[in-house]
């Protein structure tokens, strides 16, 4: 090679903390040769707020609001995971109506999380219209959840032993109307995005993830199910009232970005089916376990409770030494594992494909950084 004075060097670029397609404050340091990426190293910690340190300085009830702010898109799953872990420690059982209400609200929250993802992801790929549709549907959904829980995003609604407020008639009719309306909107998403040639060309065959890569990196959730592995905590480790409903787990076949998108769309349909069945079979009875002690002093021991959140398996690992404050709480967050595969998948891809891959993994940064 003729020595031209400018030596052959890769170009280093910050896909930095403030970037529209990183869905928050994630920084990816890219080393590129022309348009092709030779090395992509995510740098996280820009959203670190120290939830686990806070857990050790608060008693069990005081840590509940934190649960809504770890993964604020599917906050109710985190509430459910944490409450069920503490209920396991205390040996509390939630009455059946309480479990049904938890499932209904958590599935509604999962749909609102997928709608935000569809909007933000298509925005990354340059399509501005889908986010308007998605957020319009989401606003209707948030009206429902707002009626019952009182907040729109960072829910802190579940209590140890059940649910503090019951569903009222207007919520039930509103939810049934919402289900009908969203089902009719799926055709719009179908024609707007799924059959969109540009979207297919940008996502088919991009960012392939195989099964043994998934095992090595501990992927869970739609990112894993896109590669054809039907691992969903609601089915493989049934909890709460999920055994009472029949629903499928959609899986992709090739494991590329398009399949991960398709899995999330089909999953919303399944969530609607769950909500419908839950509303039809809603038992009456108490919504809160009766004698729940005010000052919780669970016995010493440790517990691990896994729950299926919109991004994957949220595991709440609590070590208690028998006093008011938990000794240690570890939040096993799905996006941590899902993002750690990015350096391996992003090698030799175009920068535009990296944006597609990063979006398809659906990360929420304060959840990764905790």
Partner 1 sequence: MEAKTGDPLIRLGLLEEALNLARANSLWPLTFGLACCAIEMMAAGMARFDLDRFGAGVFRPSPRQADLMLVAGTISKKMGPAVVRLYEQMPAPKWVIAIGNCAISGGPFNYPSQYAIVPGADLIIPVDVYIPGCPPRPEAIIEAILMLEEKITKRGRLRKFRDVKG
Partner 2 sequence: MEIPQALSDFSFVLVFLIGAALFALGPIILAHLIAPRSYGAARGDTYECGMAVIGSAWIQVAVIYYLFALLFLAFDVDVLFLFPVLLAYGKGYAWRDFVEITIFIGILSLVLVYAWRRGVFSWKRKQVTP
Partner 3 sequence: MLKDKLKTALASLNLAQVSDGDYARTGYHLEVAAGPGQMPAVAQAMLDQGCFLESLTAVDLRESFTLVYHFASFDELCRTVVHASLTKETKEAKGAQAPTISLVYPGADWYEREVYDLFGIKFAGHPNLKRLLLPEDADFHPLLKDFGAEPGND
Q: Does 332 bind partner 3 (CB under 8 A)?
A: yes
Comparing CB distances to partner 2, the nearer of 252 and 315 is 252
Q: Does 340 bind partner 1 (CB under 8 A)?
A: no
Q: Does 62 bind partner 3 (CB under 8 A)?
A: yes
**Residue 339: exposure state from Cβ atoms within 10 A (0-12, 13-18, ≥19):** buried
Give the C-alpha separation, 46 to 60, whole Å.
27
Q: Does 16 bind partner 2 (CB under 8 A)?
A: yes
Binding region for partner 1 (CB under 8 A) out of 19-27, 224-232, 301-309, 344-352: 19-27
Q: Which of residues 133-162 bind partner 1 (CB under 8 A)?
A: 135-136, 138-139, 142, 152-154
Comparing CB distances to partner 1, the nearer of 92 and 120 is 120
Choose, by CB under 8 A, the member of 344, 347, 348, 352 that binds partner 3: 344
Residues that bind partner 3 (CB under 8 A): 44-45, 48, 50, 52-53, 56-59, 62, 88, 91, 214-219, 224, 229, 231, 236-237, 295, 301-306, 313, 315, 317, 319, 324-325, 327-328, 330, 332, 336-337, 340-341, 344, 369-370
Residues that bind partner 1 (CB under 8 A): 16-20, 24-25, 45-50, 53-54, 57, 65-66, 69, 72-73, 116, 119-120, 131-132, 135-136, 138-139, 142, 152-154, 365-366, 369
């Amino acid at each position: 090679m003729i020595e031209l004075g400018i030596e052959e060097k890769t170009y280093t670029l910050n896909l930095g903390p403030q970037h529209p397609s990183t869905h928050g404050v994630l920084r990816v340091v890219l080393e590129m040769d022309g348009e092709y990426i030779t090395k992509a190293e995510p740098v996280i910690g820009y959203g670190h707020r120290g939830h686990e340190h806070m857990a050790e300085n608060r008693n069990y009830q005081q840590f509940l609001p934190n649960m809504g702010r770890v993964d604020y898109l599917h906050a109710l799953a985190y509430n459910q995971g944490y409450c069920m872990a503490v209920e396991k420690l205390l040996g509390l059982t939630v009455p059946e109506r309480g479990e049904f209400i938890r499932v209904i609200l958590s599935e509604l929250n999962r749909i609102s999380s997928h709608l935000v993802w569809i909007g933000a992801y298509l925005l990354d790929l340059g399509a501005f219209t889908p986010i308007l549709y998605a957020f319009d549907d989401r606003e209707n959904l948030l009206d429902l959840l707002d009626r019952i829980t009182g907040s729109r995003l960072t829910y802190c609604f579940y209590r140890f032993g059940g649910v503090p407020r019951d569903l009222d008639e207007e919520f039930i009719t509103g939810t049934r109307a919402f289900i009908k309306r969203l089902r009719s909107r799926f055709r719009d998403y179908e024609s707007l995005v799924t059959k969109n040639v540009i979207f297919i060309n940008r996502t088919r065959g991009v960012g392939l993830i195989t099964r043994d890569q998934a095992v090595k990196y501990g992927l869970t959730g739609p990112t894993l199910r896109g590669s054809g592995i039907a691992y969903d905590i609601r089915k493989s480790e049934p909890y709460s009232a999920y055994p009472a409903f029949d629903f499928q787990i959609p899986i992709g076949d090739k494991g590329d970005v398009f399949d991960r998108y398709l899995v999330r769309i089909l999953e919303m349909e399944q969530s609607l089916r769950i909500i419908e069945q839950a509303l039809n079979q809603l038992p009456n009875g108490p919504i809160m376990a009766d004698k729940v002690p005010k000052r919780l002093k669970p016995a010493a021991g440790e517990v691990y409770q896994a729950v299926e959140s919109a991004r994957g398996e949220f595991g709440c690992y609590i070590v208690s030494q028998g006093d008011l404050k938990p000794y240690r709480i570890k939040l096993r967050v799905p996006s941590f594992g899902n993002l750690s595969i990015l350096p391996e998948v992003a090698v030799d891809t175009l920068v535009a494909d990296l944006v597609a891959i990063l979006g398809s993994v659906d990360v929420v940064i304060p959840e990764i950084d905790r």
